Structure 1
Amino acid sequence: MVLESPDPRFKIAVTHAAHRSLGAGAPAVGAAAAVGVPVGAAAAPSKPARPARPELVHPRAIPKPGPSSPLPWPAHMLHNLAHVELNAIDLAWDTVVRFSLLAGEEERGKGEGERGKVTPDWKLPRQFFLDFVHVADDESRHLAWCLQRLEEMGFSYGDMPAHNLLWKDCEKSANHVQDRLAVIPMVQEARGLDAGPRLVERLIGLGDTRSAAVVAKIAQEEVAHVAVGVAWFVWVCERMGVDPHLSFTTVIQALCADGVKGPFNHAARATAGLPRHWYDPPAPPTAAALLDTVTSGTAATVTPASVTPAAATSAHASSTSAHASSARSSSGGTKQGG
């Protein structure tokens, strides 16, 4: 029902109802089904329903903030954020619905085997679905804040075009729960941790402290969403018997053409449990650095102060004598061989 409705406010209402049902003790998949979310009863749709506005265009066709935008800078950024939050609701529910076929008590086994299958020997526990319904509830609240703030400024969602790039990441990660966890919470949502504080500062600089407070609260709550992704990604990797760091790198190389780019909010990412060397590995040493290391090591082994003129003369004489002796031996050996 959430994924099939084009109405953002209806998505918000249904998501809150499902979350309240879970709070009352309903089963994770049952609570969603009770409000019309087809968990375990139907496959997730290939695309979620969208309202007639905003028009979805190529990302390059989106106007930049400023003179080319139909909205003033703060409203432009709030509109972009509202679109992100709308997609985030659908992404969380798609995760619940799509991988509900894996729901059940965990069965320990030898792992998944062939990559891409969705019938591993282990099952996703109830808490997995609880966590992502909670994420959907948070995202619904975030969208409501953005819609309210846009209305306070005299605008509404749909007043400028948007793109469908965020849902492309959902499609890329649809075949494997490991892919979904890496691409959505650990990459896509982690970008929000990086961008949030910068947007808050810009809004404060423009004197829009009300919008800044909304963005700051959203960014704060997104830390938990990244943490959910990291925790379940590690859990899945452990059940598959694979290294989480290597698996994350493999998924990103396969599914994220642009990789993971900064600038990064390392503090927020660390709070979410995302290790820095996973997304920002140290650069390999340059040739100059390697040469400097070798040179420094040699200098530390033999320093000018440790070589006196007498020692240098003695060493040179010994070397010359040894070389001459070697030459004579070599010459003598040749004659004997003749």
Structure 2
Amino acid sequence: MFSKLYDALNAKTADEKCNLVKEIWKNFEDLYTDKEAEILPLLKPTFANFCQVVSPKEVPQGKILKQDIHLAYLLHSIVHIEFSAIDLALDSAYRFRNMPKQYYYDWIEVAKEEVTHYEKLHGLLETLGFKYGDFKVHDTLFQALKICKNHLDRIALVPRGMEAVGLDVNPFLTTKIQKSKHKLQNEILDVLYLIFNEEISHVSKGSVWFNYLCDINHIQIKERPTKYIEILSKYNFKLPKANTHLNKEARIKAGFSAEEIDKLYLFSS
């Protein structure tokens, strides 16, 4: 299993990665887990093979959706996030060993669902006459994957940090698309609705394994909200400006405690 995960992480093209993830998911029950297999570094992301990687400030933004090109900018940004999320899930399964079988099932399932999100969004981008790689991208998510090698930190920072942001931003994006009145409006809204509901599940898995690792590390339940914020601070995590409001209802569904949400408000202020 770990060998196949590493192959998927190092795929040269988007199609190759997606196909390898589908294969791993389909054959999950038959894959052998060699827990002694060497853990290799991931040197560069797949998207670096066909995207120009720049700083976040240089990525084109679809702020006002007046023309197809502006919607393409926005779709491309979301396509890139969903594609990057495939690697985040794959690497969580690949890099951390000696976990229960359910752990690997969960993150490979997440990778498979991120593939679906990517493919649906990319299909809409192609309808506009563009493809993934036509615009500049940043590698913020990949850098988090590289620097965050402690397992508890990874779960706190990625699914419960960076990916949880999607729960807050999705309603903002939905409203923006609704106001655009674009011909693809309904198709895009359908995909955003799918992503929103499945991201609640993804973040919820993060909450389950965060608490599992806290148990192993003898971190008491009452100490966990503070520990969570400490980890975010350690990696200089910041909520994006679009997060004017935390989606409390979605975050609670995804396993956040009321105390964690209160601390996040203070953390982001």
What's the C-alpha RMSD, in Å, of the aligned pairs? Answer: 2.6
2:119 is the alignment partner of 1:144: yes
2:61 is the alignment partner of 1:64: yes
* 1:168 to partner: Cα distance: 1.6
* 1:205 to partner: Cα distance: 1.6
CA contact (8 A) 2:76 2:132 kept: yes
CA contact (8 A) 1:70 1:159 kept: no
Structure of higher CA gyration radius: 1
* 1:277 to partner: Cα distance: 2.2
Corresponding residue for residue 193 of structure 1: 167
Alpha-carbon distance between aligned partners in 2 of 1:170 and 1:7, rounded to the nearest angstrom: 19
Alpha-carbon distance between aligned partners in 2 of 1:259 and 1:81, rounded to the nearest angstrom: 17
* 1:275 to partner: Cα distance: 1.6
Corresponding residue for residue 256 of structure 2: 274
Change beyond 3 A, Cα 1:206–1:273: same
Change beyond 3 A, Cα 1:5–1:222: same
CA contact (8 A) 1:28 1:129 kept: no
Change beyond 3 A, Cα 1:81–1:28: farther
Farther off after superposition, 182-191 or 73-82: 73-82
Partner residue of 1:263 out of 231, 245, 249:
245
* 1:67 to partner: Cα distance: 7.9
CA contact (8 A) 1:181 1:229 kept: yes
Alpha-carbon distance between aligned partners in 2 of 1:165 and 1:250, rounded to the nearest angstrom: 20
Corresponding residue for residue 332 of structure 1: none
Alpha-carbon distance between aligned partners in 2 of 1:151 and 1:39, rounded to the nearest angstrom: 43
Corresponding residue for residue 239 of structure 1: 216
By relative contact order (CA 8 Å, sep 6+), the higher-ranking structure is 2
* 1:166 to partner: Cα distance: 1.4
Corresponding residue for residue 10 of structure 2: 4
Give the match's secondary structure for 1:73. helix
Q: What is the identity, as a one-letter code, of the residue corresponding to 1:169?
A: A
Q: What is the identity, as a one-letter code, of the residue corresponding to 2:121?
A: C
Corresponding residue for residue 130 of structure 1: 105
Give the match's secondary structure for 1:186. helix
Give the 5 Å matches for 1:298-313.
none
Alpha-carbon distance between aligned partners in 2 of 1:212 and 1:70, rounded to the nearest angstrom: 18
Give the match's secondary structure for 2:43. coil
Alpha-carbon distance between aligned partners in 1 of 2:104 and 2:237, rounded to the nearest angstrom: 29
Change beyond 3 A, Cα 1:275–1:2: same
Residue identity over aligned pairs, in percent, reads 25
Corresponding residue for residue 232 of structure 2: 252
CA contact (8 A) 1:70 1:160 kept: no
Corresponding residue for residue 165 of structure 1: 140
Change beyond 3 A, Cα 1:69–1:157: farther
Give the match's secondary structure for 1:16. helix
Spell out, residue by residue over 1:164-200, the C-alpha distance to the aligned partner (whole angstroms, 9 max, x if none): 11112112312x1101100000011100011111111
CA contact (8 A) 2:42 2:146 kept: no
Alpha-carbon distance between aligned partners in 2 of 1:65 and 1:171, rounded to the nearest angstrom: 28
Unaligned runs of 5+ in 2: 1-6
Please give the TM-score of this superposition, normalised by the length of structure 1.
Answer: 0.69
Give the 5 Å matches for 1:1-338.
1-22=7-28, 25-27=29-31, 29=33, 40-65=37-62, 72-100=69-97, 103=98, 124-174=99-149, 176-207=150-181, 208-242=185-219, 243-258=223-238, 262-281=244-263
Alpha-carbon distance between aligned partners in 1 of 2:160 and 2:166, rounded to the nearest angstrom: 10
* 1:9 to partner: Cα distance: 1.1
Give the match's secondary structure for 2:47. coil
Q: What is the identity, as a one-letter code, of the residue corresponding to 1:26?
A: D
CA contact (8 A) 2:65 2:180 kept: no
Change beyond 3 A, Cα 1:277–1:97: same
Change beyond 3 A, Cα 1:209–1:154: same
